[in-house]
Amino acid sequence: MSDAKDTTLSETPVAELTARRAKVEHKQLAAQVQAANDAYFQEDQPIMDDAAYDAKRQRLVALEEAFPELKETGGVSDKVGARPSGKFAKIRHRVPMLSLDNAFSDEAVAEFVARVYRFLGRKEEEGIAFTAEPKIDGLSLSLRYEKGELVAAATRGDGEEGEDVTVNARTIAEIPQTLAGPDVPDIAEVRGEVYLGHADFAGINERQREKGLPEFANPRNAAAGSLRQLDATITASRPLRYFAYAWGEMPVLPAPTQMGVVETFRRWGFRTNPLMKRCESVEELIAQYRLIESQRATLGYDIDGVVYKVDDLALQARLGFVSRAPRWAIAHKFPAELATTVLEAIDIQVGRTGALSPVARLKPVTVGGVVVTNATLHNEDYIRGFDSKGLPIRDGADIRIGDTVTVKRAGDVIPRVEAVDLAKRPADSKPYEFPTLCPACGSHATRELNPRTGKEDAVRRCTGGLICPAQSVERLKHFVSRDAMDIDGLGDKQIEFFHGDPDLPVKEPADIFTLAARDAGNLRKLKDKEGFGAVSARKLFDAIEDRRRPPLNRFIFGLGIRHIGETTARLLARHYGSFEALRAAGIAAADEASPERQELGAIDSVGPTVVEALIEFFGEPHNEELLDRLLAQVSPQPLEAVASASPVAGKIVVFTGALERMTRDEAKAMAERLGAKVAGSVSSKTDLLVAGPGAGSKLKDAAKHGVEVIDEAGWFDLVGG
């Protein structure tokens, strides 16, 4: 299992982390969240429960708030869903299908409302209305109507591009084929959720059992699997339902409020949720949440929370979006569910970065309609019954094989162990001894010491590095993954095969690109091996050949440099233009006084940890040798400039001083929307400084570097108001 699937979550408070440790953890969490997104949104096969996923996202955001240099525009915390699979044709959304931030307490809801007021510069007595509606646990679907006729249906996909499931969507009775009403615009994209009722779900699983077929884990998976069938007759045989609650492209909206538009959907022929309500205060929002929560068991379909939205669409437009979610909406999630079972074994899995992750193997137990068989145990301290501060948890009880444990989950298949029933502990049980040697390579597994706190890292890691087969394999999997080199036909199973194959071994990235040549010289050809054939072998070699000129950002990301995520890789690719330039900068930046070091650190969203990671990577001789061998096989290509009519597209802009017509957040969001790059400090690379009253040292820096300076009015004149 890779670190992306590692369910360990650090218990060290964010405030106690050093910048280096925070960025290490940030990289791990980002990989885990991305892997969870791919599994959930693309494969309909979740690898972690909602509670674990939400906890990771919360931790990720908390790290980015405490260490702003970690924040990567368009990074994992900004992403929605996963890239569409290759089973269906693709449809690009005219308006992105974004996700929602989550709240897990009444206090978090109150803070959300307060943020809305602060962003808009409104006082509480002026009042802002919100809507509250159940959060349906299903599959998001966008329906496009032209002149009232359904012409296309697309899944969320990665938020920008989804799967074309038009034929399947036409079989759902609750999706109108035509819209009725005098106010139906020429173009109307109506969005909502496809789901299955509890009774219908039970009936489907009964028929699956009768046919000897696997049962679905939960209604959401069953709905997603039913909609994404290549044979539309299968979809038609499943009683799928649809709630409409949002919209995409719609040049003329039929009402000025969220509530009004949804009510119009009902008149057009859609089913909308009767529990949706307009609320005037935090107290009303919480009251509606409690009401919906109390009715949850009787609704007949799965919900996992309540969604709050600003009702006034003009205010929604002002609030805009941040990262992957709108500022004007939030999902108030329900608490997770609990179950009791027996812990039968503890497995140790080694991830790409060498992390040893304990996983509890459980006696199968049904929790909320899903059969679960494993759970996270976080780390060895958690197993021993202590938190990151050395304080006892679970009343100091450790966790042992054979224990009866309480597990917690929120809808999917990998829960976490919460408590131990000591009264049921076997008399012959023994404390679990966490391994100090890597189970994959036998190297020492150690816990690093945090120099700031003097405490050991919660995670024990293998010191074997490249000699560790688990790390080597996982790094190769990362290199060929969808967001990296994206080599078709070379997935996890194929990497594992070639890594251990005596005839065509793949031990490092360069070996991938010599496969065809080596195969030609072998007596035993790949086409003759089990699982391959002449056609599949040829397709694989062709796919590898197609990746000899990869986009620079994908190549950088694929190298697996610690702390270099997709967004940072793209920033570096755009800034340096070529891998040779980045490599030279990374080597030269080892000198703290070098201009390369200063230039690298001045790139927006590239903080000290990224700089150090690049220096360490390019300063390691074996990495340099690996790169030389790889670059002999591939030629990374620079990113094409993004065409834009905006006068600030591609420019580096800095805002300083007080702004009167907009808040700082609004200014940054506007600049980024227009294609500009917003930086926090002025350097020789800065193109424009927008200075309001009270501007200080940045004006001097601008004069020093010859940077153009304009005021807020000049900014609006420049961008056209």
pLDDT (tens digit per residue) in 315-355: 999 999 886 789 999 999 887 677 788 999 999 998 877 88
pLDDT band at 119 (very low <50, low <70, confident <90, very high): very high
Of 42-46, 60-64, 422-426, 439-443, give the lowest mean pLDDT range. 42-46
pLDDT band at 6 (very low <50, low <70, confident <90, very high): very low
Phi–psi pair at 606, nearest 5 degrees: -105, 105
% the chain with pLDDT above 70: 89
- pTM summary value: 0.48
For the domain spanning 552-631, the CATH number is: 1.10.150.20
Beta sheet of 652-656, edge-to-edge order? 677-678, 652-656, 688-691, 708-710
| pLDDT (0 to 100) of residue 368 | 56
| pLDDT (0 to 100) of residue 288 | 97
Domain ranges of the chain: 3-79+336-446, 90-333, 465-545, 552-631, 652-719
Name 68's Cβ contacts closer than 8 Å, sequence gap at least 6: 607, 680
pLDDT band at 312 (very low <50, low <70, confident <90, very high): very high
pLDDT band at 453 (very low <50, low <70, confident <90, very high): low
pLDDT at residue 662 tops 50: yes
Distances 476 to 53, 223, 259, 507 between C-alpha atoms, Å: 25, 34, 50, 8
pLDDT at residue 428 tops 90: yes
pLDDT at residue 168 tops 60: yes
Does the CA dihedral 696-702-703-709 come out positive or negative?
negative
91 bridge partner residues = 162
Burial category of 536 from C-beta neighbours within 10 Å (exposed 0-12, middle 13-18, buried 19 and up): middle
Token pair 């494969």: residue:
43
Please tell me whether residue 136 adopts helix, strand or coil conformation. strand
Distances 232 to 229, 335, 345, 427 between C-alpha atoms, Å: 6, 36, 42, 56
By C-alpha distance, which of 409, 335, 417, 419 is closest to 369?
A: 409
Decide whether 465-545 matches 552-631 in CATH topology: yes
| pLDDT (0 to 100) of residue 444 | 87
Between CA 349 and CA 1 the distance in angstroms is: 6
Between CA 468 and CA 463 the distance in angstroms is: 8
Between CA 465 and CA 48 the distance in angstroms is: 27
Is residue 3 a contact partner of residue 474, using CB atoms and an 8 Å limit? yes
pLDDT band at 396 (very low <50, low <70, confident <90, very high): confident
Is residue 479 a contact partner of residue 472, using CB atoms and an 8 Å limit? no
Is residue 143 a contact partner of residue 191, using CB atoms and an 8 Å limit? yes
> Mean pLDDT throughout 509-527?
93
Of 45-49, 147-151, 598-602, 615-619, give the lowest mean pLDDT range. 45-49
Is residue 657 a contact partner of residue 693, using CB atoms and an 8 Å limit? yes
**Over the chain, what is the mean pLDDT?**
85
DSSP 359: E
Distances 218 to 370, 415, 579 between C-alpha atoms, Å: 6, 15, 46
> Mean pLDDT throughout 361-371?
70
Between CA 405 and CA 419 the distance in angstroms is: 6
Angle, CA of 86, 225 and 269, to the nearest 5°: 105
| pLDDT (0 to 100) of residue 530 | 86
By C-alpha distance, which of 489, 486, 516 is closest to 504?
A: 516
- Cα atoms found within 13 Å of the Cα of residue 414, Cβ hemisphere only: 20
> Mean pLDDT throughout 457-462?
84
Task: Name the catalytic one among 27, 71, 135, 668.
Answer: 135
pLDDT at residue 619 tops 80: yes
By C-alpha distance, which of 381, 429, 378 is closest to 404?
A: 429
pLDDT at residue 706 tops 70: yes
Convert the pLDDT of each residue in 260-301 to its tens digit.
Answer: 999 999 999 999 999 999 999 999 999 999 998 878 767 888
| pLDDT (0 to 100) of residue 673 | 67
pLDDT band at 81 (very low <50, low <70, confident <90, very high): very low
Convert the pLDDT of each residue in 370-387 to its tens digit.
Answer: 667 889 898 999 999 987
HEC-encoded secondary structure of 602-631: HCCCCCHHHHHHHHHHHHCHHHHHHHHHHH
pLDDT band at 367 (very low <50, low <70, confident <90, very high): low
Between CA 373 and CA 151 the distance in angstroms is: 43
Annotated binding site for NAD(+): 50-54, 99-100, 133, 156, 193, 309, 333
| pLDDT (0 to 100) of residue 258 | 98
Token pair 């796919």: residue:
543
pLDDT band at 2 (very low <50, low <70, confident <90, very high): very low
Which alpha helices (DSSP H) does 161-309 contain, by range?
166-169, 198-210, 219-227, 232-237, 258-268, 282-294
| pLDDT (0 to 100) of residue 430 | 95
Which CATH superfamily groups domain 652-719? Answer: BRCT domain (3.40.50.10190)
Token pair 């359904």: residue:
150
| pLDDT (0 to 100) of residue 79 | 56
| pLDDT (0 to 100) of residue 369 | 52
Of 4-13, 34-43, 431-440, give the lowest mean pLDDT range. 4-13
Helix H or strand E segment including 494 = helix 492-500
Between CA 157 and CA 82 the distance in angstroms is: 5
DSSP 560: T
> Mean pLDDT throughout 562-566?
82
By C-alpha distance, which of 68, 85, 9 is closest to 378?
A: 9
pLDDT at residue 449 tops 80: no
Per-residue burial over 218-249, b if 16 or more Cβ lie within 10 Å, else e, is bbbbbbbbbbbbeebeebbebbbbbbbbbbbe
Helix H or strand E segment including 709 = strand 708-710
CATH class of 3-79+336-446: mainly beta
Between CA 183 and CA 499 the distance in angstroms is: 61
Distances 164 to 85, 123, 159, 391 between C-alpha atoms, Å: 11, 45, 13, 52
Q: Count the Cβ atoms, other than its own, within 10 Å of residue 501.
A: 13
**Structure tokens belonging to residue 365:** 């137990």
| pLDDT (0 to 100) of residue 142 | 97
pLDDT band at 33 (very low <50, low <70, confident <90, very high): confident
Please tell me whether residue 339 adopts helix, strand or coil conformation. strand
Does the CA dihedral 104-109-110-116 come out positive or negative?
positive
pLDDT band at 490 (very low <50, low <70, confident <90, very high): very high
**Structure tokens belonging to residue 471:** 């790390």
> Mean pLDDT throughout 350-364?
87
% the chain with pLDDT above 90: 43
> Mean pLDDT throughout 657-673?
77
pLDDT band at 633 (very low <50, low <70, confident <90, very high): very high
Q: Which residue has the higher pLDDT, 713 or 396?
A: 713
Does the CA dihedral 502-508-512-516 come out positive or negative?
negative
CATH class of 465-545: mainly alpha
- 135 is a catalytic site residue: yes
**Structure tokens belonging to residue 368:** 């909320």
For the domain spanning 90-333, the CATH number is: 3.30.470.30
Q: Which residue has the higher pLDDT, 638 or 87?
A: 638
Phi–psi pair at 438, nearest 5 degrees: -65, 125
pLDDT at residue 360 tops 80: yes
Convert the pLDDT of each residue in 573-596 to its tens digit.
Answer: 888 989 999 999 999 999 988 999
Between CA 154 and CA 703 the distance in angstroms is: 51
Does the CA dihedral 418-424-429-431 come out positive or negative?
positive
